[in-house]
C-alpha cells in the first residue's frame, strides 16, 4: 500500500539523494551493484536519506512509454516494495523543505525506466542537479555494449548511418539518444566516467548528449603493500573471473581450456559465484558483496593465479576484475577492444594486450605465456582502495 511510502515524506536535515538503476542493488551481485552498495554506505554515514528506484519488470532497454508498471523502492538500505510512480511522486512532494538540506540524483542506469516518469519523480523531489554515471553506453545506444549485433565493436557510428541501420540495435537507438538528451537538457548533470577510456568513447560519439560538466572518477585504485606474491608450483594457473558471458570472453577461455586441457604446463580455474558448465576448469566459489568487497582479490591470491584471461569483447568502462587480478599478483591477458581493461593493463604494465585470439593461443602453444608466471615476475601484492562513488562528488554539486 502507498502508506508504506510514509518514510519518504519525512525530511532528513542532511538532505535526500535519489539513485536509479536497473535492479535492486541490495539483492544482486555485480559491478554496478557494488558501486551502489558503496554509495549507500557513504550516504548513511553522512546522514543523507537515500531513495533507490528500479524497475519491477526487468527490461533490456529504456521503456518506450509510460504505463502502469510499478517501480521497486529501496529506502535507506531497506526494500519497501513496489509502488505506482504517482504514489512515489506524491510521497516525495510531501517532504517539507528544510534549510540547508539538498536533493540530488545519481543516475547509474535508466534501463527499464521511462524518461517522462523519471523527470516527474525528480521534479516532485525538487531535484535539479546530480550525476550521470558512465557504467555502460546506454546513453548512446540500446546496445549499451556498443557491439554491432552483439558480435563486434562498433564505436557508436552516427545515428542513421548505414553501419547503424544494419545492426539489431538500430531501431532502439533513437529512443535512447532522445531520452538521454531530454534528461541532460532538463537537469544540471555532471557526466562521471570511471576511466579516461570510457570518457574518450563517449566524447568521440557524434550523437552523444551534452552534459553540464564531465569528470573522471575511478571506482578504485591500487595501494602497494610491499609484499611480494607467493609463487605457485608446477603448472601455470590460468583463470577466468566472474560472469561466464560471451561479451566477457567466456567462449575464448573455454576454447583455450579445451585445447590445452591435457597439457601439464597449464591449469585452468574459474572464479565466480556459481559453477559454469562448458570448460574443463576447476571452480573456485567467490561472491563479492558489500560485506566482502575484497573476496575476489583474496581468492586469486590464495589460488596463486598466474594469469587472468580478461578477453572482453566490449569497451569496459572500468573493470573491477582487472584491478582485482593485478592486486592479487596475476598478469592480465586481454585484447584490443576491451576498453579500460586494455588501458589499465598498458598503463600499469599489468600484463599483455594482444592483437587477436590467434596471438593469444600462440602464446600458450609456444609456452611463451609462462614468462608471466608469478615466479618469473615476482609481482607485488596490492590492496584495493575503493572510492566513495557519488558521495565523493556531492560537495561539488552545492
Transcribe 178-229 into DSSP letters. HHHHHHHHHSEEEEEESSHHHHHHHHH-TT----SEEEE--SEEEEEEEEEP
Sign of CA dihedral 117, 118, 123, 124: positive
Tally of residues, the chain: 398
Please state, in angstroms and as integers, the Cα–Cα distance from residue 200 to each residue in 85, 136, 216, following that order.
35, 13, 10
pLDDT recorded at residue 280: 87
96 — pLDDT class (breaks 50, 70, 90):
confident
Answer whether 282's CB lies under 8 Å from 306's CB: no
35 — pLDDT class (breaks 50, 70, 90):
very high
Where are the alpha helices (H) located in 216-277, listed in sequence order? 250-259
Torsion of CA 129, 133, 134, 139, to 10 degrees: -50
Distance CA 95, CA 284 (A): 48
For the chain, which domains are there? 2-219+387-397 (3.40.50.2000), 223-386 (3.40.50.2000)
Q: Using the predicted structure, report yes or no on whether residue 42 has a pLDDT greater than 80.
A: yes
Q: Using the predicted structure, report yes or no on whether residue 84 has a pLDDT greater than 90.
A: yes
Instruction: Specify the higher pLDDT residue, 307 or 96.
Output: 307
Strands 49-55 and 71-75: what pairing?
antiparallel
Q: At residue 226, what are phi and psi to the nearest 5 degrees?
A: 80, 0
Dig out the grid coordinates for 59 from the structure.
527490461
66 — pLDDT class (breaks 50, 70, 90):
confident
pLDDT in tens, 261-277: 999 999 999 999 888 87
Instruction: Specify the higher pLDDT residue, 30 or 169.
Output: 169
Bridge partners (DSSP) listed for residue 268: 238
H or E, element range at 269? strand 266-272
Average pLDDT over residues 202-210: 95
Q: Using the predicted structure, report yes or no on whether residue 313 has a pLDDT greater than 90.
A: yes
Q: At residue 245, what are phi and psi to the nearest 5 degrees?
A: -110, 160
Report the candidate in 360, 376, 375 with the shortest Cα–Cα distance to residue 260: 360
Sign of CA dihedral 248, 251, 254, 256: negative
Answer whether 192's CB lies under 8 Å from 132's CB: yes
Distance CA 264, CA 58 (A): 44
Report the candidate in 120, 130, 109 with the shortest Cα–Cα distance to residue 187: 130
Sign of CA dihedral 23, 134, 39, 290: positive
Amino acid at each position: 500500500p502507498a502508506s508504506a511510502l510514509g518514510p519518504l515524506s519525512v525530511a532528513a536535515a542532511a538532505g535526500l539523494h535519489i539513485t536509479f538503476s536497473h535492479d535492486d542493488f541490495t539483492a544482486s551481485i555485480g559491478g554496478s551493484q557494488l558501486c551502489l552498495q558503496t554509495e549507500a554506505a557513504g550516504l548513511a554515514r553522512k546522514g543523507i536519506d537515500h531513495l533507490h528506484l528500479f524497475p519491477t519488470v526487468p527490461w533490456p532497454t529504456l521503456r518506450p512509454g509510460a504505463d502502469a508498471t510499478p517501480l521497486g523502492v529501496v529506502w535507506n538500505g531497506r526494500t519497501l516494495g513496489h509502488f505506482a510512480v504517482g504514489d512515489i511522486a506524491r510521497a516525495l512532494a510531501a517532504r517539507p523543505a528544510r534549510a540547508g538540506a539538498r536533493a540530488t540524483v545519481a543516475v547509474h542506469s535508466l534501463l527499464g525506466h521511462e524518461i517522462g516518469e523519471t523527470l516527474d519523480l525528480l521534479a516532485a523531489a525538487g531535484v535539479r542537479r546530480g550525476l550521470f554515471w558512465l557504467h555502460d553506453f546506454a546513453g548512446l545506444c540500446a546496445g549499451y555494449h556498443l557491439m554491432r549485433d552483439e558480435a563486434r565493436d562498433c564505436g557508436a557510428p552516427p545515428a542513421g548511418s548505414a553501419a547503424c541501420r544494419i545492426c539489431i540495435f538500430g531501431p532502439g537507438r533513437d529512443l535512447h539518444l532522445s531520452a538521454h538528451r531530454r534528461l541532460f537538457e532538463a537537469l544540471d548533470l555532471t557526466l562521471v566516467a570511471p576511466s579516461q577510456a570510457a570518457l574518450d568513447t563517449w566524447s568521440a560519439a557524434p550523437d552523444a548528449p551534452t552534459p553540464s560538466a564531465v569528470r573522471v572518477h575511478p571506482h578504485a585504485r591500487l595501494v602497494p603493500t610491499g609484499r611480494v606474491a607467493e609463487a605457485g608450483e608446477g603448472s601455470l594457473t590460468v583463470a577466468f573471473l566472474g560472469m561466464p558471458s560471451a561479451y566477457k570472453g567466456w567462449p575464448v577461455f573455454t576454447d583455450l581450456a579445451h585445447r590445452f586441457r591435457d597439457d601439464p604446463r597449464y591449469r585452468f580455474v574459474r572464479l565466480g559465484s556459481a559453477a559454469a558448465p562448458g570448460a574443463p576448469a576447476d571452480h573456485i566459489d567467490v561472491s563479492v558483496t558489500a560485506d566482502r568487497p575484497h573476496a575476489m582479490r583474496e581468492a586469486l591470491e590464495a589460488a596463486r593465479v598466474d594469469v587472468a584471461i580478461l578477453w572482453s569483447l566490449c569497451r569496459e568502462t572500468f573493470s573491477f576484475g582487472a584491478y582485482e587480478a593485478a592486486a592479487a599478483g596475476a598478469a592480465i591477458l586481454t585484447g584490443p577492444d576491451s576498453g579500460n581493461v586494455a588501458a589499465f593493463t598498458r598503463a600499469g604494465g599489468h600484463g599483455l594486450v594482444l592483437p587477436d585470439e590467434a596471438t593469444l593461443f600462440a602464446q600458450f602453444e609456444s609456452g611463451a605465456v609462462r614468462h608471466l608466471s608469478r615466479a618469473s615476475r615476482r609481482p607485488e601484492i596490492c590492496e584495493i582502495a575503493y572510492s566513495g562513488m557519488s558521495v565523493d562528488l556531492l560537495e561539488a554539486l552545492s
